[in-house]
Structure 1
Amino acid sequence: MKKEGFGEKVRRLREERGWTREQFCDDERELTVRQLTRIEHGISKPTLTKIFFIAHRLGLSLFELMPDYIDLPDQYVKLKYDILRTPTYNRADLIDKRNGKLKQIYDRFYDQLPDIERVAIDALQSTIDVLETKSDIFGREIVKKHIPRIERKRKYDVNDLLVIHLFMEHAYLSNLRKKSDSRKMFLKLVAELPKQVMLMEPEDLFVLRNVMFATIRVLGAKEICDPIPALFQGLDQIMQITQDFQKYPIFSMLRWKYELLVHRDVNRASSYCKEAMVFAKLMGNLHLMEQLHAQWRRDTSEFMTFLSC
C-alpha cells in the first residue's frame, strides 16, 4: 500500500472535518488558500511555521500530524506495550511489575518524549490511580483538554484510546445526567468505538478491546443498554481478527450479565456462563474459573431477589 504523503494526509483530515480550504485558512494571515492547495497536492513543501499552524487547526500535535518526525526509543515502546498487554488480575506481584515498568518510563524516557506520548503515559497512570482510589481527581485536565480533540477524529490511535479509557473511568464515577454535555460526549464516543475495529491496525486492537470492556462496565452501571450489542459485536470481531481469545471468558461473563439484566433470560445467560467456564478451563486458569463461579452465584442470586420483589 502506498504510504500517505503529508499533503494527502492534510487534505484527508481537513475533509473528514467537513472544512473547505477557505474555512480552514480562515483569514489567510497564517496560510493562504493557494498555499494550502499547493501543499495538499504535493507541489510545495510547507515551512515549519505553516506545519505548526496546520496541526493547530486540525487539533493535532506535531507528532500526530507527522509521526515519522520523531523516532520513539525501542525500549520505551516495548515497556509501554508490555504494560498495555499484561493484565494484573489484582495480583500484588503483577501490579508491582507494572508499576516498575511505569517507573522506568518516567525515569528514563518521559522527559524526551513528544507531548502526545507524555499525555498517553499520564493518561495510563491516571487511569490506574482512578481505579485504585475510586476518585476522579486524577487526570481531569487530560480529559478536559484532549477528549474534545479526540471527539473530532474519525480514526483513533492507541494514545487516543488511552485517553478515552481514562474518560470512561471518570464517567463511571460521574452522574452522567440526561441531556448533559458529558453524557452526550460519552454516548458519541461509545458509538464510535465499534467503528474503529476496521480502522485500526490489527496489532493495536487489543487496546481497543480493553477500552470496550471498560465502556460496557460503565454502560451497565448507568443502565444504558442500547449501545451494548454493538460493542459485543465489535469485541467478537476483534477476537476473530486477532485470534486472541484470552479475554473470551470475560466477554461471555458480560454477555450473561446482559441477558439477565436486560432480557431476563436465565437459560441464555446460563449458556454464556458455561461458555465462559469452558474457555477458562481450556486456558488452564483455575483462579478465573473460581471467580466466574462466584460471580455467577452472585448474579443469579441478585436476579432471583429482583424477581421476588
Structure 2
Amino acid sequence: MKSFGSKVKALRKEKGMSQEELCEDQSELSVRQLIRIEGGKTAPSLSKMQFIAKRLNVPLPSLVDSEDVELPFRYKELKYLIMRTPTYRQEQQVRQINEYFNEIHSEFFENLPEDEKVAIEVLQTSMDIHLDEDVNFGGELVEESFQQIQLKKKYELNDLLIIRLYFFYIYFSNFQDDLFELSIVKQLCEHLKKQAQFTYPSDLFLLRDILLQAITILIELEEYEEAGDIINRTREIIKMTQDYQKQPILDMMEWKLILAYHNNRRAAEAKYNEALLFSRVVGNQHLEEQLIIEWKKDSL
C-alpha cells in the first residue's frame, strides 16, 4: 500500500491540490489520515480509496492493485460473526466471541487498513462496556473515533459501530461524561432514522440494534416523542428484513414508553405478553427470563 500513498501524493501535487482541498470538509477523510496514507504509514479502507480517487478524478485501479483492495474473506466472516452473535452475558457466547477476536488478532490484524483496526477495537470495547458496565477504558477511543462521525449524514458499517460504542459509553456513564450532549444524540437519531436507504441489506441488523439502543437512551432522557418515532422506524426494518429475533426487545421498549409517556398499564401489559409469547415461540429462554425480570421492575 506504500505505492498507493506515493501515487496519491504525486498526482495530488501534479493537479495543484493541497491536502486540505483533497479532503474537502473532512467528513470522509481527515487531513491527518491523508498524511498517514501518503506517507505509507497506514492502509486506507476501500471507501477512503474510492473517495480519494473521486477527488483526484481518476479511476481507482490506476492508484491501487486489485489484491490490495479486497479484505480477506475469513476476516470479514469473523467480523460479522462477532457482530451477529448475541452474548446475553452468557459465558459460552462470550467465550466464542473472544475466540473470534483472537483469530483476527493472530491472523489478520497487523495487515488490516486503519479503519478496520479501529473497527475491531471498537467492537472489543463495546463488548467490554456492555458486559462490565464499566466505561473507564472506553472514553479515549470514543473521543478519537467519534469526531469525524458528527460531520456525516450517511453512515457506513464502521461508522455505525462507532455510534453504537458512543451510545454504550454515554448510557453506562449515566450521561455524566463530557462526551454526552443531548443535541448530538438527537442529531444522530435524526440521521439514523433515514439510514436504512443507505445501508446494505446484510447490515440492517446492526442499524436495527443501534436504533434499539437509541430508544433506550431517549426513554431514559424523557425524549418520548422521538423514542416513539424510532420505535416505528425499527419496526419497519424488522418487517423489511423478516428478521424477528429482536422483536421481543422492541416490544419491551414499547411497553416502557407506554408506561413512561402514557401511563397506560393495560396497554403496556399487552405489549409485555406479546414479547413473552414471541420469545417462547422462538425458544429463547434467556430472553424470556429477562423480559419477566424487566416487567417486574417496571410494574413496581
With the length of structure 2 as denominator, give the TM-score of the two structures.
0.77
TM superposition shift of 1:52: 9.1
**Number of the residue aligned with 1:166:** 165
Check the 8 A contact 2:75/2:104 in 1, yes or no.
yes
**Number of the residue aligned with 2:190:** 191
**Number of the residue aligned with 1:26:** none
Q: Distance in 2 between matches of 1:267 and 1:137?
A: 40
Check the 8 A contact 2:201/2:241 in 1, yes or no.
yes
Q: Distance in 1 between matches of 2:290 and 2:180?
A: 37
Q: Distance in 1 between matches of 2:217 and 2:13?
A: 43
Q: Distance in 1 between matches of 2:133 and 2:93?
A: 20
TM superposition shift of 1:231: 1.2
RCO higher in structure (CA 8 A, sep ≥6) = 2
Q: Distance in 1 between matches of 2:211 and 2:102?
A: 27
Q: 1:54 aligns with which of 22, 28, 52?
A: 22
**Number of the residue aligned with 1:21:** none
**Number of the residue aligned with 1:219:** 218
Structure 2 residue ranges without an equivalent (≥5): 1-11, 30-43, 51-65
Q: Distance in 1 between matches of 2:285 and 2:139?
A: 38
- Percent of aligned pairs sharing the same letter: 32
Check the 8 A contact 1:55/1:65 in 2, yes or no.
no
Q: Distance in 1 between matches of 2:273 and 2:105?
A: 43
Map 1:107-122; keep pairs closer than 5 Å.
107-122=106-121
Task: Give 2:224's aligned amino acid.
Answer: C
Check the 8 A contact 2:254/2:268 in 1, yes or no.
yes
TM superposition shift of 1:55: 4.0
Q: Do residues 83 (structure 1) and 82 (structure 2) align?
A: yes
Tell me the SS of whatever aligns to 2:101. helix
Q: Distance in 2 between matches of 1:173 and 1:290?
A: 22
**Number of the residue aligned with 1:152:** 151
How large is the Cα RMSD of the aligned pairs?
A: 2.6
TM superposition shift of 1:130: 1.7
Map 1:29-48; keep pairs closer than 5 Å.
none
Render the CA deviation track for 1:148-175: whole Å, top value 9, x for unaligned: 2112212111100111111111111346
Render the CA deviation track for 1:24-80: whole Å, top value 9, x for unaligned: xxxxxx679xx59xxxxxxxxxxxx87896247534344232267621110000000
Number of equivalenced pairs: 257
**Number of the residue aligned with 1:292:** 291
